[in-house]
Structure 1
Amino acid sequence: MFIHYLLYKKSWIGLLGFLLILTNTLILLDMGIRVEPNSLLYLNVLFLTVCFVFIFWRYKKETAYYKLLSSLATDLGENWFERIPYPDSRFPDGIVNKLIEKIHEQNQTLRHREKSNNLLEYNDLASWIHEMKTPLTAMKITIDAHRSNELAQRLSSSWLKMHLLLDQQLYISRLATLESDLLPEELDVNLVIKEEIRELSTWCMEKNLAIDVSRSDAATSYTDRKWCAFVMRQLLTNAIKYSPDNGTIVITTEVDQKNAVTVTFKDEGPGIQGHDLPRIFDRGFTGDNGRVQHASTGMGLYLANEISNKLHIQLNVRSIVGQGSSFSMIFKPGNSFEQTRRTLLQPK
């Protein structure tokens, strides 16, 4: 930074150099001034020493504020504004500080406005979804009342798909406030899987899919039940969507020696192309399979991945083209939910 400071002050340094040369020239050319060569050399050395000390002192003083700002820029964090140092001088540090304050105030205003708009959009969307669920509920009651009717059986699968899409949209709107909605608890993973299979059974029967469940009795983990169930629903929905008719979906739960629980959903679908694998969790990405399945929105796996990160669940995928895909949820022991549970249980 010292070199940059010298370049910044090059006009001042040039002026000092010009004054030194001018002084030496006047002393040498003016016949009325007689100075010994040693004295002239002493004067030049003294002048240069004083100038160097002065420049170094000003460098330390003038760059102290900006050095602190530079160190802050490498690690801003959420409370970056509170860590901004107070300027020692009104110019130019004070002007820079006022500019930063104005930028922060404007940014806070924009964020507050954006948050308010998002809240309004969320409320409107949530209200619309709940209004849509009212006729869907009436349709469900009618379908359940006429189970023996062939037309009702066909409508049941379409109703389920509409219900899943509305449910997905509701979770998309809640994603921004997920942390405030988490409730860690000891969860029987097998029970959640069983409930999700029952929820999607109509779709499975429509495609005549068999679901083979291999489970470990000790598959328990500390996580949020609602959001974890939604991730499983997305993975199971994906498996059903891409499985061929009369196929089989294999669901396994395993517990290793470290008490880590792994839930795997394996289908017999077309598999995922190698060039699509790195992007399957991107928002809105559908890939080659999504272009075949026109109903694909590219949001299911994105939501599953985002929620899994929040829940500290590791999401892995393996796929072989032509042989199917398998998605694994790994519940690691000792995650933040376990720590939160122990904190809540501690006596106060």
Structure 2
Amino acid sequence: MIKLFLKERLSWIVFFITIHLLFLFISYLDSALHFKSVLYMIFLSSSAFFVFLLVRSQKETAFYKELSAREENLDVTSIPAPDSPFEKLVEKTLLDQTEGLKQDALNHSIALEQEKDDLMSWIHEVKTPLTAMHLMIDRLEDGQLKTNLTYEWLRIHLLLDQQLHQKRIPSIENDLYMEKVDLEVVLFNELKTLQSWCIQKGIGFDLELEQQEVITDAKWFAFILRQILTNAVKYSQASEIHIRSFLANDTIKLEVKDFGKGIDPRDLPRIFDRAFTSTANHHDQAATGIGLYLAKKAATPLLIDIQASSTPNVETIFTLTFPKKNEFAAVISM
């Protein structure tokens, strides 16, 4: 900070030195002036000026030292007390700007909350005609038409479901309810929803559940599972998808294995990134790159670890590792 002070006052220092050099030059040329006396006066003046600079540097940099050490937030109480007119001007400017930013942040927050409420309200409103549409589709006699319409209905349903949960994820901690969840019940509910799509593609499921129960939030776990199963069905052709639960190292794991086109090794580290689709199939317009991202986001507060491995054109395995019993205290205390 001393260096900054000297740099700020450099013009004054240069002016002071220049004036004293001028006095020395004049006393050297003018014999009426005693050169040694002038030199002695300049020495005393310079010493006093040096002490003055030292004192003023401590006083004038104190405000800016506190200001630079202040945390970068909108807390105006951490702004140091000013001691000079310029410091008061700086304080007033900071306070005015901070209050303006706070007001803007509040307005944006209110607008975002309103937008979120409007969107969630719209999603719930759309679900009513969507349910009615599903009932009408069930009454169709034309098998092919029924299958096609059911598939399109399912796509809309899954997209709305993603949007609904995406808006809820920021406040997921307020929505958690930890309980014993029957894996078979959750799996069958999700597979029933995807049934028409699986029939259309000739996909079956092979379940091997050594572990029947896990402690988690049923609603959010079902959402996570839905994203993984949707992905598995979407990128698989006529084959079976293997789902098994087992115990390993005192932790329960759930494994979903499909035999579709797999994931390119260079894409594997990025599949949980927001909006990432694929580098190998970048032309795929149907991919949104949001499902696995939301699954990972929802799994984090549940302490569920999701890992993926894949062999291109052979298989893809998603493994969900549930937390140990002694780790649930962190989840329940949220």
TM-score (norm 2): 0.84
Moved more, 160-169 or 22-31: 22-31
| Contact residue 209 and residue 248 of structure 1 kept, 8 A | yes
| Count of aligned pairs between the two proteins | 333
Moved more, 56-65 or 24-33: 24-33
Equivalent residue number for residue 59 of structure 2: 61
Aligned equivalent of 1:226, options 191, 205, 219 = 219
Gaps of 5+ in 1: none
Equivalent residue number for residue 273 of structure 1: 264
| Contact residue 147 and residue 153 of structure 1 kept, 8 A | no
| Contact residue 227 and residue 292 of structure 2 kept, 8 A | yes
| Contact residue 24 and residue 35 of structure 2 kept, 8 A | no
Aligned residue for 2:273, secondary structure, equals coil
Q: Percent identity?
A: 34
Does 1:84 pair with 2:88?
no
Give the counterpart letter for 2:218 in structure 1.
Answer: R
Distance (Å, rounded) in 2 between the aligned partners of 1:54 and 1:219: 77
CA RMSD of aligned residues (A): 3.2
Equivalent residue number for residue 132 of structure 2: 138
Displacement after TM superposition at 1:274 (Å): 3.0
Give CA deviations for 1:106-138 in whole Å, capped at 9, x if unaligned. Answer: 222222222232233223322322222112211
Displacement after TM superposition at 1:230 (Å): 1.1
Equivalent residue number for residue 248 of structure 1: 240
| Contact residue 253 and residue 263 of structure 1 kept, 8 A | yes
Equivalent residue number for residue 15 of structure 1: 15
Distance (Å, rounded) in 1 between the aligned partners of 2:67 and 2:182: 49
Distance (Å, rounded) in 2 between the aligned partners of 1:194 and 1:69: 60
Aligned equivalent of 1:307, options 284, 290, 298 = 298
Displacement after TM superposition at 1:5 (Å): 2.6
Aligned residue for 1:287, secondary structure, equals coil
| Pairs within 5 Å for 1:1-348 | 1-34=1-34, 36=36, 40=39, 43-73=41-71, 76=72, 80-82=74-76, 84-144=78-138, 151-179=145-173, 181-188=174-181, 190=183, 191-217=185-211, 220-221=214-215, 223-245=216-238, 247-257=239-249, 259-288=250-279, 291=282, 293-333=284-324, 338-339=329-330, 341=332, 343=333
Displacement after TM superposition at 1:224 (Å): 3.3
Distance 1:54 1:285, change over 3 A: same
Give CA deviations for 1:210-266 in whole Å, capped at 9, x if unaligned. Answer: 222333427523x43322321211111101100112x12222334443x44433322
Distance (Å, rounded) in 1 between the aligned partners of 2:105 and 2:182: 39
Aligned residue for 2:317, secondary structure, equals strand
Distance (Å, rounded) in 1 between the aligned partners of 2:324 and 2:46: 68
Distance (Å, rounded) in 1 between the aligned partners of 2:101 and 2:263: 42
Distance (Å, rounded) in 2 between the aligned partners of 1:228 and 1:65: 53
Moved more, 93-102 or 325-334: 325-334
Aligned residue for 1:171, secondary structure, equals helix
Give CA deviations for 1:79-107 in whole Å, capped at 9, x if unaligned. Answer: 55245233322432222222222222222
Give the counterpart letter for 2:64 in structure 1.
Answer: Y
Displacement after TM superposition at 1:19 (Å): 2.8
| Contact residue 219 and residue 261 of structure 1 kept, 8 A | no
Distance (Å, rounded) in 2 between the aligned partners of 1:328 and 1:213: 14
Displacement after TM superposition at 1:11 (Å): 0.3
Aligned residue for 2:260, secondary structure, equals coil
| Contact residue 296 and residue 306 of structure 2 kept, 8 A | yes
| Contact residue 67 and residue 80 of structure 2 kept, 8 A | no
Aligned residue for 2:53, secondary structure, equals helix
| Contact residue 188 and residue 220 of structure 1 kept, 8 A | yes
